[in-house]
Amino acid sequence: MLVPARSTLRPLAALVAVVLLAAGCRVRVATTVKVDGDGKGTITLAVGFDDAALARVGDLSQQLAVDDLRAAGWTIDDPVKEEGTTWVRAHHGFAGADEANALLAQVSGPDGPYRDLVVTRTAGLLSTTTRFQGTLDPSAGVAMFGDQQLAQTLGGDGSGGLVARIESEEGRKVEEMVDVSLTGDLPHADETVQGALGSSPQSLDVSSSDSHLLSLFGKLVLTVLVVLTGLVVALRIRVRRLRTRRMMRSSLPRR
């Protein structure tokens, strides 16, 4: 029995180990950080299975332990099939960069495939710049999905010593069966880095700027309209007063 791991990502990644027990499968692990124009956004953790993997795993709702995720405020979607891949996704919203960074710090832990994930927002007079940076590092291979307590219980690697058996049966590395990706999705830009388990680290740095010029121009036009309206009203009042004075003078009896 797989022992639930403590980091945020590992309740999802633990299912990868279940799939690996049935050789000849393809699994995708994906993390997406989406930031909207107002600085709010969503972090999405996902695991995707091809048909062979899904057939061997069985009922995902029974296999996937997500109680810790739900307790931490994550929303778990029902499995959905998209272009031959069945995905299970977990989402967590954030109200700003600080909350996003607190969540990102828990995504994969020190041994996971994601490192130094940071969202920044820099507001200036003319524009606001949103930036997402991070590193995808799957170089540790399948070991990063293992669990230290499980390894101590079963001996060997975190999969209970089954990696070598799978590789012998399939004639290929287990790492070749799993892809990991990291995506930054900003208002006017997006970027994805992807690699197989055991591949070299890749950096992601994507930024997007929202100009304030249109907003400033709109405010300027509104201000000018308000001032002009005030001047017109003031002039009309003045003209009316002058006209009233003239009428009053003309109505007085002449001496």
State whether 217 and 199 are in the same domain: no
Give the residue carrying structure tokens 């029995």: 1
SS3 202: strand
Which H helix or E strand runs over 71? Answer: helix 67-71
β-pair partners for 155: none
Residue 225: its pLDDT value, please? 75
Listed range (5-19, 59-73, 92-106, 234-248) with the worst mean pLDDT? 5-19
- Residues contacting 238, CB < 8 A, separation 6+: none
pLDDT digits (tens, 9 = 90+) for 95-126: 999 999 999 988 877 778 899 999 999 887 77
State whether 234 and 145 are in the same domain: no
State whether 16 and 108 are in the same domain: yes
State whether 178 and 220 are in the same domain: no
State whether 80 and 185 are in the same domain: yes
In a domain? residue 223: yes
Q: Closest Cα to residue 131, out of 204, 193, 212, 202?
A: 204
In a domain? residue 115: yes
Residue 239: its pLDDT value, please? 72
State whether 119 and 240 are in the same domain: no
Which H helix or E strand runs over 247? Answer: helix 213-251
Give mean pLDDT, residues 125-143. Answer: 86
**69/172 Cα distance (integer angstroms):** 33
In a domain? residue 235: yes
Listed range (68-82, 95-109, 197-211, 218-232) with the worst mean pLDDT? 218-232
What does pLDDT average to over the chain?
77
How many domains does the chain contain in total?
Answer: 2
In a domain? residue 59: yes
In a domain? residue 1: no
- Residues contacting 112, CB < 8 A, separation 6+: 7, 9, 10, 13, 144
Q: For the chain, how big is the Rg over CA atoms in Å? A: 30
pLDDT digits (tens, 9 = 90+) for 153-205: 334 444 455 566 666 766 777 777 788 999 999 988 999 999 988 899 999 99
Which residue range(s) make up the domain with 15? 10-211
State whether 206 and 216 are in the same domain: no
Confidence of residue 15 (pLDDT cuts 50, 70, 90): low
State whether 169 and 244 are in the same domain: no
State whether 234 and 206 are in the same domain: no
β-pairing verdict for 75-76 and 27-35: unpaired
State whether 110 and 217 are in the same domain: no
State whether 63 and 162 are in the same domain: yes
